[in-house]
Amino acid sequence: MNTLRRALLLLAAAALVLTSLCACGAGGTEPTSTVPATAQSGELPTEDPVEATAEPTAEPTPEPTPEPKRNSVTVGIAQDLDSLDPHNPGSNAGTSEVLFNLFEGLVKASPDGGVVPAVASDYTVSEDGLTYTFTLREGVKFHNGAAVTAEDVLYSLNRCAGSENEGTVLVPAFSIVSAVAAPDEKTVTITLTEPNLEFILSVAEASIIPKDSGSQMATDPVGTGPFQFVSYTPQESLVVKRFEDYWGTPAKLDEVTFQVYLGSSNTSAMVMALQSGTLDMVIHMPNTMAPEIGTDFTVLQDTMKLVQALYINNAVEPFNIEKDGVKVGELIRKAMYYAIDVPAIIDFVCDGAGVATGTSMYPAQQRYFMPELAENYAYNLDMAQELMSYAGYPDGFDMTITVPNNYEQHILTAEVIAEQLKAIHINATVEQVEWGAWYQDVYKDRNFQTSVCAISASDMSAREMLVRYASDNSKNFINFKDADYDAKVAAAQTTLDQEEQISLYKEAETILNEKAASLWIQDLCELVVLDPELEGYTFYCTYVLDMSTIGFKA
Amino acid sequence: MRRHNWYLRLGCLLTAVMVMFSLVGCFWTPYDPSALSSTDRYAAPSLTHLFGCDSLGRDIFSRVMQGAGTTLSIAFAVLLLGGTAGLVIGALCGYVGGAADALVMRLCDAVAAFPSILLALVVLAVTGPGKRNVILALGVLFIPSFARLVRGEFLRQRELDYVKAARLAGVRELRIVFVHILPNTLPVLLSGVTIGFNNAVLAEASMSYLGIGVTPQDPSLGYMLSEAQGFLMRAPWYTGALAGTVILLVLGAGLIGEGIRARMGDGT
Amino acid sequence: MTAFFKRLALLLVTMLLVTALAFAAFTVIPADPTASILGMNATEEQIAALRAKLGLDLPLWQRYTTWLTDFVRGNFGTSYRFSMPVEDLLRPRVEATLALTGLSFLLIVAVSLPLGLLAAHKEDGLLDRLVTVCGQVTMSIPNFILGIGVIWLFALILGVFQQKYVPPEDGLWAHIRYLLFPALAVALPKTAMTVRLLRGSVLGELRQDYVRTAYSKGNAPRAVLVFHVLRNAMIPVVTFLAMTIPDIMAASIVIEQLFGIPGLGQMLISSIGNRDYPVVQAIVVIAAFVVVACSFLADLLYRLMDPRIGGR
């Protein structure tokens, strides 16, 4: 009896021990510390670099890839890439900031919000503002090794302007392009139908790709950027490596993996991944996560360069109602603006570090930003209730706030707004949807009532932030319609006078605020979290993640 | 035998406490569970806030009470829907038998072949989130298991003497099914109900945790857990309070089920 | 042998019903996939052309038979979102999910069999009581809460676990070592249930007459327990284990999301969000097939083990 008992006990113990052994087995060779992030970066302390170089193909060690010195990083991103095609019109900012590392236009975005020459070494603009002449840079190569020719550039520009794809304009700003031409091997000209001071900023979006490669872009992207494509696994990761033949300053890192974190708890998953050393870097981390991240990382604080708002569909009830010449919908929107307490929202969502915007413009766009607009709808419940009564809704109404579930800050903001709107008897329901569903229903199909999200710009032009709300703009997802606004924006786009353009855009911004087209809230605060061994992160005024300047400290 | 009564007693006590806690939470909570407070953000547990406060300064104790109420009401509604429908279908199939029975059972097999959460997720993806849709999706998915349970018991009871006697006495078939046989299947049904209750609580919690369940307006325990996980370091008491409540709810029902099975004599 | 073929026929009927259900479910969905592919500015002709290309203009039964034959041939259609064959998209994910499910299953068996036998061996002993009480509590913990606990303990406190998925290409051992942690979260509650069932089953068998007879014939206690009791006691356990496979898969889906494992669960949830119906359809049918096949195998095992069930 005893032997049997012992045998069984042994069996059970063995099973358990085996489990825990497996768990700790390979852990021994790794620096087992509660802060592996610090220990793991740079040189692996347990490995002798000299020995490792002398014997690169040593016997398999528990480490999957024995490297003499680690020179690759993994970056956590909160969404999957919409497409690898740099010209894909549906891609949002989260995708283009990653693709920034693979592709370049004739010019590319610079940290200050302007553009610097890239594939072109130089450019000139004609007196009337209609013709842009680019001189192609010597010795620019594609990732596939081929040299960039004028033909490639023409193909790329034509593709953006729509002439390569049944007239669908892929880069919206290129709708005013009338012709592109290559007078000689080293020169390319773009002719516009009307002048536009901001056009050059959009040229950065027209990435140069090899001739006739458009259909392969989605699976095998080839560009001229500092990094080249290695592999992409949907919803998992994008791996890129340094492009050795890059024309400019080569990237410092050998390889970068963009690791996708999806779902409703992705922020905490990324924090855990940072702490366990899986991730070396996370961008767009809500600043409220700072206490979770701890002090073992380099944490940089920045604004996100976007406008978070309760975006209101101006074409659905009750926001579209007009009765006997009274704009009831507008009254309701204003009442709601008075009823929400923006500074409190900023406190709750950003620990007070966000910046109130008051309109569709964020502080980094210094030329256009009007901080005073944020003061127009100071929290005033009496005013709000009065407006609601005047509009004929003294007892409020029911509404739905649709929020993409992968951005915690938007969910929190929606919850706070729903709570604050109770004061004027508006019963708001927060509905969380997957990013894909949100993108399709809210952003593309405009099938929503209200939504908390953020709109950002890929360049410093006002196009993404202001021109999009012109009545017939394809990106006007809030269905804002205002003749005065349309006129201002149209005039601003065609003027050749910088000062006049700025003042016209400012007038347009003011209209968005006055009409309460949406409840503009804030430019969010975000953290960039880096492994302490990393350096060289560059802040851009626009939504750009430049990996080429990042490297490990010497 | 003594120990099994102990199961039943402890289970009943625990469940009674948890149900009271949740029921009260449906009508009254110490604080308004959605009231924001910028001064109490991430407050640690104290006498004023028993379980502390969350990132928006909301009282966690009140929220847990409310969340338990939501979770419990969903679980009960699912049981009611799945249990009643399963009961009727199972009873008729078990009593009538034949081709209709075979067909219905095959259908039940087919539905049961899908992992339940997976199917519920797909149903919710089509109908959209919300409390009512969660109840509908889970309720329908719970029908096969109840139907099978009841059918098996009916197959057994059908051949017993008291049923044969009733039939000979000319009692109407439907009356035999629902008045004569049904009460005798109660013990089996009861233990099925406790398992069903636990499955409903777990399924709802998992779905809401994944973000495809209830909306933030009806925060259930699972939904709040996905929220709480975000500040595991800053306010660990939030996750702790929620996890503890879910576990106690399920544990109570589990103990009762164990007790019932032990009484019926097939538990040991 | 006839019984075997009867079961096989039943299996095929169930699978047919499963595919019909899955197909029907995604046909009644109101959303038109053409809208999500072409976008809003598509012309009537473009939509009509795409509908014809996708075969959406054919009658329902014809679409079902085409879809089914394609499916049987391993052609699961094209993902709307990723414009690539669904089977290519899913292959690595099926592997990941099956690995997690399989490993969890092995964990359950490896831990619960000895534990259940030990507990039954000395009824009401210290180990028995401990196993019973702990088991009851463990059974009540949802998998995702266990998952949070596992991450907290092993990744944050002990630091022995890195929360980054290790694909099998990086070495089978590393892959399994990684999967052990999520598998732990999946397996624990079911392990507790199996232990309880096995314990009850063994205790029930020990009270049977044949055991007494076997003892009285002078058989060694160990031999009786292993060769007589265990064989019979395993019958309900095997059935139970087969029935837990859908549950294990369901738990894997939740746990995958929590641990960030690129398996079917994660794909399912994001594909639902993306309205990528061919992918959702394929995942649902694959999962159901695995479940139906497992219950078929369990049934066979059951017949092999229990001599009282004739007709072999």
The 3-class secondary structure across A245-296, one letter per residue, is CCCCCCCCCCEEEEEECCCCCHHHHHHHHHHCCCCCEEEEEEHHHHHHHCCC
Residue B34 lies in a domain: no
- Are the Cβ atoms of C39 and A444 closer than 8 angstroms? yes
Separation of alpha carbons A430 and A216, rounded Å:
40
Q: Which residue has the tokens 């959460």?
A: B117
Separation of alpha carbons C15 and C68, rounded Å:
11
- Are the Cβ atoms of A437 and C275 closer than 8 angstroms? yes
- Are the Cβ atoms of A64 and C170 closer than 8 angstroms? yes
SS3 A76: strand
The per-residue pLDDT for range C175-207, each reduced to its tens digit, is: 888 899 999 999 998 999 899 888 888 888 877
Rounded to the nearest integer, the mean pLDDT of chain C is: 80
Residue B29 lies in a domain: no
Pairing state of beta strands A107-109 and A115-117?
antiparallel
Mean pLDDT, rounded, for C260-271: 82
Separation of alpha carbons B7 and C250, rounded Å:
29
What is the number of H-type helices and E-type strands within chain B? 10, 0
Nearest-by-Cβ selection for A262 from C84, C270, C275: C270
Q: Which of C124, C136, C140 best tests the B interface by mutation, with the highest count of B CBs <10 A? A: C140
Q: Range with the lowest mean pLDDT among A131-145, A190-204, A485-499, C114-128?
A: C114-128
Name the amino acid, one letter, at A402. Answer: T
pLDDT more than 90, % of chain B: 10
What per-residue confidence (pLDDT) applies to B130? 80
pTM of the model: 0.77
Q: Is the omega angle on the peptide bond into residue A64 within 30 degrees of 0, that is, cis?
A: no
Pairing state of beta strands A72-77 and A281-286?
parallel
Residue B55 lies in a domain: no
Residues of C in contact with B109 (CB under 8 A): 14, 17, 292
CA-based radius of gyration for chain C = 24
Q: Which helix (DSSP H) or strand (DSSP E) does residue A501 occupy?
A: helix A498-514
Nearest-by-Cβ selection for A291 from B129, B229, B233: B233
Nearest residue to C64 (alpha-carbon basis) of C25, C34, C14: C25
Half-sphere exposure of A4 (CA within 13 A, CB side): 14
Rounded to the nearest integer, the mean pLDDT of chain A is: 83
Mean pLDDT, rounded, for C143-161: 82
What per-residue confidence (pLDDT) applies to B223? 85
The per-residue pLDDT for range A509-547, each reduced to its tens digit, is: 999 999 999 999 999 988 899 999 999 998 888 888 999
SS3 C184: helix
Q: Range with the lowest mean pLDDT among A415-419, C20-24, C57-61?
A: C57-61
pLDDT more than 90, % of chain A: 46
Q: Which of B4, B122, B261 best tests the C interface by mutation, with the highest count of C CBs <10 A? A: B122
Q: Which residue has the tokens 């825990």?
A: A20
The per-residue pLDDT for range B193-225, each reduced to its tens digit, is: 888 888 888 888 888 887 777 777 778 888 888
- Across-strand partners of B214? none
Residue B30 lies in a domain: no
Separation of alpha carbons C161 and C168, rounded Å:
17
- Across-strand partners of A191? A131, A179
A535 contacts A553 by C-beta, under 8 angstroms = yes
Nearest residue to A412 (alpha-carbon basis) of A517, A527, A295, A289: A289
Q: Which residue has the tokens 């080569």?
A: A250
* DSSP conformational letter for A467: G
What per-residue confidence (pLDDT) applies to C163? 65
What per-residue confidence (pLDDT) applies to A519? 95
Mean pLDDT, rounded, for A208-236: 89
Q: Which residue has the tokens 């410093």?
A: A460
| Chain B closest-CA separation from residue A268 CA (Å) | 5
The per-residue pLDDT for range A149-190, each reduced to its tens digit, is: 999 999 999 998 887 666 677 888 888 888 899 998 899 999
Residue B45 lies in a domain: no
Residue B177 lies in a domain: yes
* DSSP conformational letter for A374: G
- pLDDT higher than 80, residue C46: no
Nearest-by-Cβ selection for C14 from B110, B254, B267: B110
Residue-number span of the structural domain to which B231 is assigned: 6-18+61-266
Q: Which helix (DSSP H) or strand (DSSP E) does residue B244 occupy?
A: helix B236-264
Separation of alpha carbons A44 and A274, rounded Å:
17
Sheet of A355-356, strand order: A355-356, A519-523, A306-312, A450-456, A398-404, A427-433
What per-residue confidence (pLDDT) applies to C37? 56
Separation of alpha carbons C284 and B126, rounded Å:
14
Residues of C in contact with B209 (CB under 8 A): 144, 254
A530 contacts A293 by C-beta, under 8 angstroms = no
Cα of C229 vs its chain's centroid, Å:
28
| Chain B closest-CA separation from residue C203 CA (Å) | 7
> C277-305 vs B116-127: helix axis angle to the nearest 10?
160
Q: 251-270 in A: which are within 8 Å (CB) of C? A: 259, 261-263, 265, 269
- pLDDT higher than 70, residue C28: no
Mean pLDDT, rounded, for B106-134: 77
Chains touching A (at least 3 CB pairs under 8 A) are: B, C
Mean pLDDT, rounded, for B225-243: 83
User: In sequence order, which ranges of B159-235 are alpha helices (DSSP H)?
Assistant: 161-168, 173-175, 186-209, 221-228
B192 contacts B109 by C-beta, under 8 angstroms = no
Residue B224 lies in a domain: yes
Q: 195-214 in B: which are within 8 Å (CB) of A? A: 210-211
- Are the Cβ atoms of B210 and A432 closer than 8 angstroms? no
Phi, psi of A298 (to 5 degrees): -80, 120
What per-residue confidence (pLDDT) applies to B38? 78
* Higher per-residue pLDDT: B264 or A224: A224
Superfamily of domain C86-309 in the CATH hierarchy: MetI-like (1.10.3720.10)
Separation of alpha carbons C113 and A339, rounded Å:
63
- pLDDT higher than 90, residue A255: yes
Q: Which residue in B has a C-alpha nearest to residue A265's C-alpha? A: B226
SS3 A428: strand
What per-residue confidence (pLDDT) applies to A164? 67
Q: Which residue in C has a C-alpha nearest to residue B102's C-alpha? A: C10
Nearest residue to C249 (alpha-carbon basis) of C193, C289, C287: C287
B123 contacts B132 by C-beta, under 8 angstroms = no
The per-residue pLDDT for range A60-80, each reduced to its tens digit, is: 444 444 445 678 999 999 888
Kindly state the tokens that stand for A99.
């693709």
| In chain C, ranges of CATH 1.10.3720.10 domains | 86-309
- Across-strand partners of A282? A76, A529
- Is B172 part of the contact surface with chain A (CB cutoff 8 Å)? no
The per-residue pLDDT for range B62-84, each reduced to its tens digit, is: 999 988 988 999 999 999 999 89
Separation of alpha carbons C101 and C255, rounded Å:
11
What is the number of H-type helices and E-type strands within chain A? 15, 21
The strand ranges marked E within A330-437 are 355-356, 398-404, 427-433
The per-residue pLDDT for range A7-30, each reduced to its tens digit, is: 544 444 444 444 444 444 333 333
What per-residue confidence (pLDDT) applies to B35? 83
- pLDDT higher than 50, residue A393: yes
Q: What is the band of A1 on the pLDDT scale with cuts at 50, 70, 90?
A: very low
* Higher per-residue pLDDT: C55 or B249: B249
Nearest residue to A348 (alpha-carbon basis) of B31, B36, B233: B36
What per-residue confidence (pLDDT) applies to A30? 34
SS3 C73: coil
pLDDT more than 90, % of chain C: 6
The Cα angle at residue B253 between residues B247 and B259, in degrees rounded to 5:
130
Domain total of chain B: 1
Mean pLDDT, rounded, for C4-25: 81
- pLDDT higher than 70, residue A135: yes
pLDDT more than 70, % of chain A: 86
* DSSP conformational letter for A60: P
| Chain C closest-CA separation from residue B162 CA (Å) | 29
The per-residue pLDDT for range A398-419, each reduced to its tens digit, is: 999 999 877 888 988 999 999 9
CATH number at residue B76: 1.10.3720.10
Residues of C in contact with B251 (CB under 8 A): 136-137, 140
- pLDDT higher than 70, residue C311: no
Q: Which of B224, B226, B239 best tests the A interface by mutation, with the highest count of A CBs <10 A? A: B226
What per-residue confidence (pLDDT) applies to C281? 84
* Higher per-residue pLDDT: B49 or A486: A486
Q: 175-214 in C: which are within 8 Å (CB) of A? A: 176-177, 180-181, 184
Kindly state the tokens that stand for A302.
């920045």
Separation of alpha carbons A434 and A407, rounded Å:
10
C119 contacts C201 by C-beta, under 8 angstroms = no
Q: Write the CB contacts of A277 (distance below 8 Å, at least 6 apart in sequence).
A: A36, A37, A39, A40, C162
* Higher per-residue pLDDT: A35 or C302: C302
- pLDDT higher than 50, residue B174: yes
Name the amino acid, one letter, at C149. Answer: G
The per-residue pLDDT for range A336-383, each reduced to its tens digit, is: 999 999 999 998 888 888 999 999 999 988 888 999 999 999 999 999
SS3 A114: coil
Separation of alpha carbons A286 and A151, rounded Å:
44
B82 contacts B138 by C-beta, under 8 angstroms = yes
Separation of alpha carbons A19 and C180, rounded Å:
8
